[in-house]
Structure 1
Amino acid sequence: MRDDSEIVNEEVITTDQNKQEELIEEVPAFESEEAKIAALEALIFANGEPISVERFCEILQCQAEDIEEALDALVQKYRSPEFGIELVLVGSKYQFRTKASLASYVRLLKDQKPRRLSPAALETLSIIAYRQPVTRHEIEKIRGVDPTPTLKTLLDKELVTLVGHKETVGQPGLYGTTDRFLHLFGLGSLAELPVLRELKQIESDPGESAISEELQEEDAAVEECDETASL
């Protein structure tokens, strides 16, 4: 038998859903494409966090194709040098952000210096970014040191996250990068990471020089992005 709290929770959820449906019904039809673009602009600004095409469709009661066309128009609009912000794709969601070229002015407003990742954190992040999903042990095997403290730092900064568990003895955790990583490093997707040469297959007992060479190349690629990332 269900207790009263479960019944109350269901009633609250139902009430919220009904209110959402009522609000959607009150949304007027767009009189022009410009009106639709303006509505998208308002939603992105008001939401703050990245927002998906699916969510836009749900709120504006439009087809995905129409939303994507309007978003493309907004992206083009804010590429103009007269604007200090731009509309960027973070993973599969859209968000306004200040242009990287104006970062020095924004830092003056916030009275802060850009915070850089430590070499150890950058090295660990490089491994995760290019080899994800990857376990703590696999990171340790490449770096030669216990990555636990650095992993904690990256987890606290929400640059990496636990994405699953490896199907092996003990089912160790698998780590991957986050949408925040993409956002801070100015990437729309992982496909936009600086291109590396095809990584050589690491042997079961790889030579130190081979590992060092690969890590240096991975670090350089991620550091290239880190130049504009303020953590």
Structure 2
Amino acid sequence: MAETGLVQILEGALLAAGKPLTVAQLAELFEEHERPENAAIREAMKEVAERCDDRGFELVEVASGFRFQVRQNLSPWVARLWQERPAKYSRALLETLALIAYRQPITRGEIEEIRGVAVSSNIIKTLHEREWIRVVGHRDVPGRPAMYATTRQFLDYFNLKNLDQLPALAEIRDLETLNAELGFTEPLPESAAPAADEGSEPAASEAEGDGPGLTVVGGTDHVEADEPYAEFIVAEELAEAMTDLTEAAEPEAAEEEPEASANPEQQV
């Protein structure tokens, strides 16, 4: 098969699929006797990516495979194709998601210990409904609290191939180090307190809603401390949220009411 033909077939498949496709899935497009090697497919994908250099879209590889997506700098214009307002997320939700992303697996009780406030049941519910987090086990302590981790959908949404592509925050991957920076005198034990009662809703919750179907990444500026974020948030905001948690949180401030998260800014 001519290389040009392979490139065209792969381009067409990605456009028609409307979702990421892995190398294995792309290989399945061909009859066995003409099926290209995985290396040939990856080489062809490089050419596809090069062809997008001067276009309004690009080829990226995320956790679920390759996909075409609108370039990040064009999202303010492309987003106007949808009349409904995109879903907005509170700072409390974004902080919770960032902690799960960087400290997974982590329990609800551990999140509350770090943030200093209770985690709203609405926040956990919304993160589950967005399929950004999942339960990966239970801590072997009294109450057996659920341990949360991020999902493949989380990686896809935030344009990541794997968790290694999250902004580097090695200094806060150690929970005890993070606690020290936040001013906690005692390190958080492995047997952190069980998750708070699901019926309690003391913390801020975010408005739910479905975003547009087109893959549009980034493009949102930071908002004031008391405002939520729009749906098009970029992965780098995770780092900013966690940096604020470590740099701006004082022991007294950490114990303020849930909505008082003006210093720590969260994103996912």
Distance 2:19 2:96 in 1: 27
Q: Which amino acid letter does the alignment assign opposite residue 132 of structure 2? A: L
Partner of 1:146: 118
Matched, 1:73 2:102: no
Matched, 1:51 2:21: yes
Q: Give the structure-1-normalised TM-score.
A: 0.70
TM-aligned CA distance change 1:168 to 1:43, over 3 Å: same
| Deviation of the 1:177 alpha carbon | 1.8
Partner of 1:209: 182
Distance 2:75 2:154 in 1: 17
Distance 1:49 1:134 in 2: 30
Distance 1:165 1:189 in 2: 20
Matched, 1:124 2:96: yes
Q: Which amino acid letter does the alignment assign opposite residue 12 of structure 2? A: A
- 1:1-231 paired onto structure 2 within 5 Å: 30=1, 32-60=2-30, 61-78=35-52, 80-81=53-54, 83-147=55-119, 148-162=121-135, 164-166=136-138, 168-169=140-141, 171-199=144-172, 201-203=174-176, 206=179, 209-210=182-183, 216-217=245-246, 223=267
Q: Which amino acid letter does the alignment assign opposite residue 4 of structure 2? A: E
TM-aligned CA distance change 1:126 to 1:133, over 3 Å: same
Distance 2:102 2:57 in 1: 29
| Deviation of the 1:203 alpha carbon | 4.3
Structure 2 residue runs without a partner (length 5+): 185-240, 248-263
Report the identity percentage: 34
TM-aligned CA distance change 1:186 to 1:201, over 3 Å: closer
Partner of 2:251: none
Distance 2:152 2:158 in 1: 10
TM-aligned CA distance change 1:210 to 1:66, over 3 Å: farther
- 1:176 alignment partner, SS class: strand
- How many residues are treated as equivalent by the alignment? 190
- 2:171 alignment partner, SS class: coil
Deviates most, 105-114 or 121-130: 105-114
| Deviation of the 1:137 alpha carbon | 2.4
Q: Give the structure-2-normalised TM-score.
A: 0.61
Distance 1:117 1:39 in 2: 39
Distance 1:134 1:198 in 2: 17
Q: What is the Cα-based RMSD across aligned positions, in Å?
A: 3.0
- 2:42 alignment partner, SS class: helix
Contact 1:91 1:182 in 2 (8 A): yes
Contact 2:132 2:154 in 1 (8 A): yes
Contact 2:139 2:147 in 1 (8 A): no
* Greater relative CO, 1 or 2 (CA 8 Å, sep 6+): 2
| Deviation of the 1:37 alpha carbon | 0.8
